[in-house]
């Protein structure tokens, strides 16, 4: 009986050693797979950033153009492009126009700010993506 127990102990020890080797191989394979996955994830993230950067010009152009036509007198399109001073000028001018509308001059102020928004929206939408980016995002041309 003790001989059988000794054989079982040896078999158990061999099985334990094999399981330990398998676990070590699995751990190494897992580390390699994780490193490969991490590298692929970084590559995909960089590609996504590059694609987003190249697509951002057109999307911003259309968004800003439509906002300029619809809400141009409030200066929303100026704020979207990062022109805070010009956006505040349009917004304050429109508010002053509405406040002074009973004096007739306010109507002209509101009409002027609306026309500015419409003209800028049309200009934004008719430019190519490269022209829009070079002029309004990189070149920082605030008016027309």
pLDDT in tens, 24-68: 887 787 778 767 777 776 776 666 556 545 545 456 888 899 999
Distance CA 143, CA 130 (A): 18
pLDDT in tens, 84-116: 999 999 999 999 999 998 888 989 999 999 999
Alpha carbon 87 to its chain's center: 22
Nearest to 116 by CA among 80, 83, 72: 72
For tokens 């002029």, what's the residue? Answer: 135
Distance CA 131, CA 116 (A): 20
Could you tell me the pTM of the whole model? 0.56
């Amino acid at each position: 009986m003790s001989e059988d127990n000794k054989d079982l102990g040896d078999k158990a020890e061999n099985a334990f050693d094999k399981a330990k080797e398998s676990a070590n191989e699995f751990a190494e394979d897992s580390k390699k797979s994780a490193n490969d996955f991490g590298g692929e994830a970084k590559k995909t993230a960089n590609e996504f950033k590059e694609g987003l950067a190249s697509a951002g010009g057109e999307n911003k152009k259309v968004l800003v153009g439509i906002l300029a036509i619809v809400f141009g007198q409030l200066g929303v399109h100026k704020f979207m492009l990062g022109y805070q001073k010009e956006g505040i000028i349009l917004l304050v001018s429109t508010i002053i126009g509405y406040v002074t509308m009973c004096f007739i001059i306010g109507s002209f102020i509101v009409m002027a700010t609306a026309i500015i928004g419409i003209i800028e929206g049309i200009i934004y939408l008719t430019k190519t993506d490269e022209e829009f980016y070079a002029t309004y995002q990189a070149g920082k041309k605030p008016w027309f």
